[in-house]
Copies of this chain bind each other. A is one copy, B any other.
Amino acid sequence: MPKPARTQPLDPASVCRSADPLAVRELLTRVGDKWTIFTVLSLDLLGGRARFSDLERAVPGISQRMLSATLKTLERDGMLTREVFPEVPPRVEYEMTPLGRSLLHPMQGLVEWAKENWNQVRTAQSRYDDR
């Protein structure tokens, strides 16, 4: 007989005290994504509006494939708008929506934390590894 599952069913009161912890969790997974964070922050640094190629240059190390996918998801989620100019060669501009801009503040909080604390984390890691 297989061992019964050890994990408990979802508890609405747990973790985030939200009416829908599943939705919040999914959203967190999304906005916590590396490429999403860097794309959003880069678009902000570029003045809130930029072309595909601008972002490609601004986001260090992203591939066209991932940039395309990330932008599509962000557009679907209402974080930015996509405007196509009927020219040759094509021009496409992405602009942050108010919803996207509202994400900036909490996101920058995390980035600030990372900037301020990565030294401490590094030393903790080497202390752990030496042991």
Contact = CB atoms under 8 A, between A and B. Distances in A.
Q: Which of A45, A63, A113 has the most CB of B within 10 A?
A: A113
A61 interface: yes
A27 interface: yes
Contacts of A115: 16, 18, 24
A92 interface: no
Contacts of A123: 78
Nearest to A41: B15
Given A15-B45, A24-B118, A78-B120, A103 B111 contact: no
B28 A34 contact: yes
A113 B37 CA distance: 14
